[in-house]
Structure 1
Amino acid sequence: MLEGEGNPTLNKKTGLPRKRFYRARAHSNPLSDSHFPVPISPAQVDYASHYPKLSDGSKKIEFADIGCGFGGLLIALSSLFPDTIMVGMELRDKVTEYVKERIVALRANNPGQYENISVVRTNSMKYIPNYFEKAQLKKMFFLFPDPHFKEKNHRRRVISPHLLDEYAYALAVGGIIYTITDVEELGEWMKSCLEDHPLFEALSNEELEADPAVKLLTTATEEGQKVARNDGQTFQAVYRRIAMR
């Protein structure tokens, strides 16, 4: 029997999960309580279950895709940085399950590849310190986050002055935060928060052009591809973690 045959959630030809069986609301309320396991500390992160072929303890997660959606960026980054361990963090349970199944299928269909990526269902606005040690990360991605248009809901935005303190803690000096949105007001908000924070500075145009991850911001995700199809505009802010002056 072909892989995927007899299971309607899998594509018979590719063995990959069918996205329509894992659809969920576009966003979840990050301030509501959800029930999922959370490690007590970064030392308790179960690397063996997430990266079974890389679980010798010699490497730790270095890239985090916050609100990873259906995993497009993770998949693209996995091939671009095959020696780097990375994780997607997603609050929606169905979407997280889709990414898990997608990674399992990709590993099965491409032996030796995609072993460096995984996904966890968690609330990154609450539990970043539970997953990452100080200065552990080299890259954090925030692609097309929920804009939370109403002013009273701005506290739910995943980029804020308070949360940037936590991201700065998790990022090594020289580490980079990547943000992009198709909502101009949100783009200005994220750029302003980063610009005003004492531990971040903007990358130069030359650095942006030379960074291969920047090119994925508009192409690797479902949201980015949708914006491109509709000839929409995007607003990005890419900033480096710097030492305290």
Structure 2
Amino acid sequence: MELDEVSTISAYTKLPQKRFYRQRAHSNPIADHSFDYPVHPDHYDWSQHYPDMGERRVAFADIGCGYGGFLVTLGEIYPDKLALGMEIRVKVSDYVIDRIHALRNLHEGKYRNIACIRTNAMKYLTNYFHKGQLEKMFFLYPDPHFKKAKHKWRIINSALLSEYSYVLRAGGQIYTVTDVKDLHEWMCKHIEQHPAFERLSEDEVREDVLSEKLLDSSEEGKKVTRNNGSKFVAIFRKK
């Protein structure tokens, strides 16, 4: 066996360490990054990410999945559903991809229903998903883009919500979590004003099986907890 093959096998039999994948916390989603993306969802080879997908399609999309903590949780809670993390940062997406490979090797037969790709969901979402395909979309601790001039970079806005509505099935849900009150109010205002969505009541949010997992499964959520920060959650349903 060649030395580089041994190194690859060794790397995938233990979890990667985030300190080797550090990157800036923010990325300009409007910038002209270099991405490969399909011209149509049917032209993408999903089997490279999901070895056992069969006739299934991706049902959950974690937009800006960060280091993949919540994505892993999704795979555990919904073993029969395919979940995809979409991350714009190179090193962060590399970490999640390596993490999934390691988990699959450490736990035979598990975590084969989750995957991560590096892409810009603000630009190429409909290149990956069919109309009405997704059951759930997650926006957990998105970049707040505090400056007013950069509010157009926020992942929740009127134009993008129409795309989210397009890829979500009827009854599909959008989940939002942030530790920034201003951003929470911004997201709620824009989603509630959009004709395709309605906000779930507090009782409905509490009854959702993912309600508690939304807060602390992600690395960002754990950091907010360590810093005793506030967390604001809202869930919306496509009418």
Normalising by the smaller structure, the TM-score range is over 0.9
Say if 2:123 is the partner of 1:126: yes
Post-superposition CA distance 1:177-219 (Å, at most 9, x none): 0001111111100010111111111112222111111211111
**Normalising by the residue count of structure 1, what TM-score does the alignment of the two structures yield?**
0.92
Say if 2:34 is the partner of 1:35: yes
Say if 2:74 is the partner of 1:77: yes
Match of 2:87, as an amino acid? E
Give the Å deviation of 1:67.
Answer: 0.2
Post-superposition CA distance 1:40-59 (Å, at most 9, x none): 111122111001122x3x10
Aligned ranges 1:40-59 → 2 under 5 Å: 40-54=39-53, 56=54, 58-59=55-56
**Identical residues among aligned pairs (%):** 50
Comparing 88-97 with 203-212, greater Cα deviation is found at 203-212
Instruction: Give the structure 2 partner of residue 140 of structure 1.
Output: 137
Listed as ranges, the gaps of 5+ residues in structure 1 are none
- Give the secondary structure class of the aligned counterpart of 1:217: helix
**How many residue pairs get matched?**
233
Instruction: Give the structure 2 partner of residue 240 of structure 1.
Output: 237
User: How far apart, in 2, do the equivalents of 1:156 and 1:203 lie?
Assistant: 26
Give the Å deviation of 1:235.
Answer: 1.4
Instruction: Give the structure 2 partner of residue 166 of structure 1.
Output: 163
Match of 1:117, as an amino acid? I
Q: Is the 8 A contact 2:131 2:168 kept in 1?
A: yes
Aligned ranges 1:1-245 → 2 under 5 Å: 15-54=14-53, 56=54, 58-242=55-239
* Structure with more helix by fraction: 2
Match of 2:52, as an amino acid? K
User: How far apart, in 2, do the equivalents of 1:34 and 1:230 lie?
Assistant: 33
- Give the secondary structure class of the aligned counterpart of 2:216: coil
Give the Å deviation of 1:6.
Answer: 6.7
**Normalising by the residue count of structure 2, what TM-score does the alignment of the two structures yield?**
0.94
- Give the secondary structure class of the aligned counterpart of 1:127: helix
User: How far apart, in 1, do the equivalents of 2:7 and 2:81 lie?
Assistant: 35
Match of 1:241, as an amino acid? K
Runs of 4+ more than 4 Å apart? none
Post-superposition CA distance 1:116-162 (Å, at most 9, x none): 00001000000011011000000000001110111111110000011
Q: Is the 8 A contact 2:205 2:234 kept in 1?
A: no
- Give the secondary structure class of the aligned counterpart of 2:212: helix
Say what the alpha-carbon RMSD is for the aligned residues.
1.5
User: How far apart, in 2, do the equivalents of 1:207 and 1:153 lie?
Assistant: 33
Listed as ranges, the gaps of 5+ residues in structure 2 are 1-5
Q: Is the 8 A contact 2:52 2:112 kept in 1?
A: yes
